[in-house]
Amino acid sequence: MAFLKTPERTKERFSLLLLDLEEYYFEQHTAYHVSGGSKKERKIRGSFKVCSRSIIFDPEDLAEPILKIPLKDCKKIEFVEKENNPFNEPRPSAVSVSCGQIIYIKESNVIAPYRNDRGAKKITFELEVWNKTEDVVQTLLQLHRASCLEKLGDQTAMIAANLQSRLARSSFDKNCFQSVAEKPHMECAVEMVMPLVSNPGHVCITDENLYFQPLNGYPEHVIQIKLHRVRRIYKRRHGLRPLGLEVFCTENDFCSDIYLKFYNTADRDEIYYYIATFLENHVTEHTAESYMLQWQRGHLSNYQYLLHLNNLADRSCNDLSQYPVFPWVVADYSSAQLDMTNAASFRDLSKPVGALNKERLDRLLARYRGMPEPRFLYGSHYSSPGYVLFYLVRVAPEHMLCLQNGRYDHADRMFNSVGETWKNCLEGATDFKELIPEFYGHDSSFLENRLSLDLGQKQNGNLVDGVVLPPWASDAGDFLQKHKAALESQYVSEHLHEWIDLVFGFKQRGSEAVAAQNVFHPLTYEGGIDCDSIEDTDQRIAMLTQILEFGQTPKQLFTSPHPQRITPRFQNITRSPSINSPASDMSPASPTEDSSFEDLTEESRKLAWTNIGSLKSISSHKIHKEAVTGIAVTRDGAAIFSTSQDSTLKMFSKELKDFQRSMSFSNMALSSCLMLADGKTVVCSSWDNNVYFYSVPYGRRQDTLMGHDDAVSDMCWFDDRLYTASWDSTVKVWQCASDSLSSHKRSQFELLAELEHDAGVNTVALNPAGTLLVSGCKDGTVTIWDTGSYGALQQVHCHDGTIHHASFSPDSRHVLSVGADSCMKVIDVQTGMVMSSVKAEEEQRCFCWDGSSVLCGGQSGDLVLWDLLSNTVTQRIPAHSGAVTAMWMSELCTTVITGGEDRQMILWKLQS
């Protein structure tokens, strides 16, 4: 539970939540509350706390209530001098406060709504250290003057000046360092942010630790975080300004170890980058695209992925105005059993909550059409501090009392029933709230009244107690277990990307948001208004307060459609027509009679890729005079063909371990080669603009295709169709009669299509089914084509400079490309989104991959094994003395052949 995992690190009864919103706790003194006359005087010992808008007295006796005196209600605050009357007992100096209201909190030490005692009062406090009394009175008088100013802006400015003066007069106590050898890097004033409250102090960062020292010594004298324990850090937007920094010492927990708000962005950034030097891969690891790739391939659960997206979108459990937002996923709260194989059990994730009920939506649209600009569809948000505490009041009652000026909400408006809350979100005129992570966690205490709180009595006479659960849940623990199972279910996995589009993605704002009926009040969007540009201080503060309390839309993470998750091949969910998606060549294959063989082959490939780092060189051969450009192997593996910039095609016998044939078609370089399925024809592309067909049985050139106006750079073949890429900025598709290729007759070539590009095409590849084609150009553009219609599905400019190689993943979901900019890019085929971008240490020229792991050949000549899910190099294998320029891998991934600029061809075998 977030509120229980971010404690104020104390067992004191006092809490910063007893302060008003936006109030600071400055200092405390041991003191006595003096009541009664001089003869029957009663003294209660406790802590006298000076706050920016109030005086708080916290008695040591837990039976006594905490007293809070708002400074704006004070009529007079005066210093009572010490009495030295020899006939009476000497009286120490005191603070005398005349006020019109005293607020009693935690009477009988019970968390309950505050009791306000209005009327003229006079209250006296004696400080244990007498000589500080006059200074305390002067401070209170200054803060009292601020509280009595007419304009809120003037009040805020005067209090802020007092705070900055205090921070400037103090500094971090370096005696708190863990070691005398620690070297401080920097120190500055900050505030530690917690739900609804913040605490000013100083941060100090050394070569070993991050320290925070509160100005008031609350809740501890110093808080320490070891830098080597830090796992994740995030820059945060706090109060709509880039001033926040949140530090996590765990990988998966959504509750951070500390959240700091700085007074200027430069200080925040300096500490961020200093901590980042202690992290591995901190830049590439924390991108939405890299998390998306891990989620899409099943390495992150739906729950984990949503937490990561919330983190990246500035949502934090320390900031209730930007608390993590999770979707309602279940729509059935009345059945005895929750059927997760039935689509009707789930909420439509393609629509915002406000659009789920057509009748309500029609009314909202009618109002929207008649509204002046800027128009909005929903007058309230799906996440706000009030909604978060609506769900969590049973575990965070003090937060609710803080937010609502010492009161709970009306009993009938509280979180009484999951089903009723869902119904109200569907039907209520202004209720469009989503859920919070706790609904998918393991701690059910927020659903139970374990603190025995008196939360009021409903109109039907029943007391508010635990939350009423759906019939399909036997208890709160069972509810959470089934609710989390629903979040991870197949239906939600298939449709979660639609909800992400609404909340974090391209349907969040603009014309797409209008089309998706997903338009909220302009104040909820980042950049919707610049508060700093409002000159009137009162208006600016009122606007900022409205924004923080109303709710904020997360930072937009994606600007193009989010790809769907890859779900298991065999589907068993009962689909209704409304959620049926059209069949696609990109969908997982249907089971066939040979599926058991396919599964076996797939398992073999997976096993091979798991052990790909154990590749061993079994032989190397220098058979060319220039760089190797292409490698092709017969189906039985007996013969290996290679092309080179030396203009020759060479045949190497694996059995004889020697090259047997050499063929030259022209005096210009050959750029690639491929073996046709019949095993009798090798096709070579050349810089002389031609494609050559070499007959293996006859040992001679069989045919020539003169099809381009510039060098042919690459080729691929599928089902009697040849795809040729050229520097003349085209890819051409040719129909080739297979019977003529396998005989000595001249071949018949029919041009079926010409795919135009804006720059020379350097690489081309087909997906395994032959339904999609990818081309990579010299200008850094990747284009994905439909081979049925020859139309461009996606065009993504993602590299700076030439693309050396591009290829589909085995499941056709993604394309990986490498280029002269040393970058590797993973593109989602369905959406065209760049899902992962890795900057390598050197230029990568060629690769093989399984969708998650990549075996690259680089400029240095080494083979490099990359894990794309973590964006890290897992192994480096020395190979060639020059750049690796060609690579071939067997179907079961157990044999690899590489060619390089060093003119060598190396055969590799996977060691079991």
- DSSP codes, 543-610: HHHHHHHH--PPPP--SSPPPPP---SS--PBPPGGG-----TTSPPPP-TTHHHHHHHHHHHHHHHH
Is 518 in contact with 502 (CB distance < 8 Å)?
A: yes
- Closest to 490 (Cα-Cα) out of 352, 336, 293, 345: 345
361-376: pLDDT as tens digits: 999 999 999 999 889 9
The two three-digit tokens of residue 871, written as one number: 């964006």
Which residue segments constitute the domains of the chain, with CATH numbers given?
2-167 (2.30.29.30), 172-286 (2.30.29.30), 320-577 (1.10.1540.10), 604-910 (2.130.10.10)
pLDDT at residue number 8:
44
Residue 142 pLDDT greater than 80, yes or no: yes
Using the Cα atoms of residue 462, residue 464, residue 466 and residue 470 in order, give the sign of their dihedral.
positive
Q: Each residue of 694-709: b (16+ CB within 10 Å) or e?
A: bbbeeeeebbbbebbe
What residues have CB less than 8 Å from 132, skipping those under 6 apart? 29
Alpha carbons 629 and 607: distance in angstroms, whole number: 29
171-184: pLDDT as tens digits: 999 999 999 999 99
pLDDT at residue number 527:
67
- Which amino acid, 679? G
288-347: pLDDT as tens digits: 888 898 898 888 999 999 999 999 999 999 999 999 999 999 999 999 999 999 999 999
The stretch 241-270 carries a mean pLDDT of: 90
pLDDT tier at 275, thresholds 50, 70, 90: very high
What percent of the chain shows pLDDT beyond 90?
Answer: 71
807-861: pLDDT as tens digits: 999 989 999 999 999 999 999 998 898 888 888 989 999 999 998 899 999 999 9
Alpha carbons 239 and 236: distance in angstroms, whole number: 10
The stretch 410-414 carries a mean pLDDT of: 94
Alpha carbons 898 and 889: distance in angstroms, whole number: 9
Alpha carbons 404 and 406: distance in angstroms, whole number: 6
| H or E segment and range at residue 352 | none
Is 790 in contact with 753 (CB distance < 8 Å)?
A: yes
Distances 472 to 279, 339, 481, 604 between C-alpha atoms, Å: 45, 10, 11, 42
The stretch 200-207 carries a mean pLDDT of: 96
Alpha carbons 699 and 662: distance in angstroms, whole number: 10
Residue 542 burial (CB < 10 Å; 0-12/13-18/19+)?
A: middle
The stretch 434-446 carries a mean pLDDT of: 96
- State pTM to two decimals: 0.81
Residue 575 pLDDT greater than 90, yes or no: no
The stretch 877-885 carries a mean pLDDT of: 95
SS3 658: strand
Alpha carbons 676 and 683: distance in angstroms, whole number: 8
pLDDT at residue number 2:
54
pLDDT tier at 85, thresholds 50, 70, 90: low
DSSP state of 468: B
Tell me the pLDDT of the chain averaged across its residues. Answer: 88
The stretch 188-214 carries a mean pLDDT of: 95
pLDDT at residue number 33:
95
Is 72 in contact with 148 (CB distance < 8 Å)?
A: yes
CB 417: neighbour CB atoms within 10 A?
15
Beta bridge partners of 659: 652
The stretch 225-250 carries a mean pLDDT of: 89
pLDDT at residue number 443:
94
Alpha carbons 300 and 509: distance in angstroms, whole number: 27
Beta strands, E only, 728-780: 730-736, 749-756, 761-766, 772-777
Residue 585 pLDDT greater than 70, yes or no: no
Residue 880 pLDDT greater than 90, yes or no: yes
- Closest to 681 (Cα-Cα) out of 758, 753, 742: 742
Residue 188 pLDDT greater than 60, yes or no: yes
pLDDT tier at 498, thresholds 50, 70, 90: very high
Residue 48 pLDDT greater than 90, yes or no: yes
Residue 675 pLDDT greater than 50, yes or no: yes
Q: Which position has the higher pLDDT, 229 or 567?
A: 229
Main-chain phi, psi angles of 353, to 5 degrees = -55, -40
Alpha carbons 177 and 911: distance in angstroms, whole number: 52
Residue 888 pLDDT greater than 50, yes or no: yes
Is 402 in contact with 18 (CB distance < 8 Å)?
A: yes
pLDDT tier at 583, thresholds 50, 70, 90: very low
SS3 656: coil
The stretch 81-108 carries a mean pLDDT of: 82
pLDDT at residue number 604:
79
Residue 535 pLDDT greater than 80, yes or no: no
What percent of the chain shows pLDDT beyond 70?
Answer: 89
Q: Which position has the higher pLDDT, 654 or 734?
A: 734
Residue 286 pLDDT greater than 60, yes or no: yes
- Closest to 422 (Cα-Cα) out of 469, 489, 479: 469
pLDDT tier at 593, thresholds 50, 70, 90: very low
- Closest to 639 (Cα-Cα) out of 628, 650, 648, 623: 650
Residue 581 pLDDT greater than 60, yes or no: no
Is 884 in contact with 857 (CB distance < 8 Å)?
A: yes
pLDDT at residue number 465:
95
pLDDT at residue number 594:
39
pLDDT tier at 54, thresholds 50, 70, 90: very high
Q: Which position has the higher pLDDT, 131 or 391?
A: 391
pLDDT tier at 87, thresholds 50, 70, 90: low
What residues have CB less than 8 Å from 862, skipping those under 6 apart? 876, 877, 878, 879, 880, 884
Is 532 in contact with 541 (CB distance < 8 Å)?
A: no
The two three-digit tokens of residue 187, written as one number: 């120190």
Alpha carbons 175 and 177: distance in angstroms, whole number: 6
CB 571: neighbour CB atoms within 10 A?
13
pLDDT tier at 281, thresholds 50, 70, 90: very low
Alpha carbons 804 and 823: distance in angstroms, whole number: 11
SS3 348: coil
- Which amino acid, 455? L
The two three-digit tokens of residue 399, written as one number: 């937060």
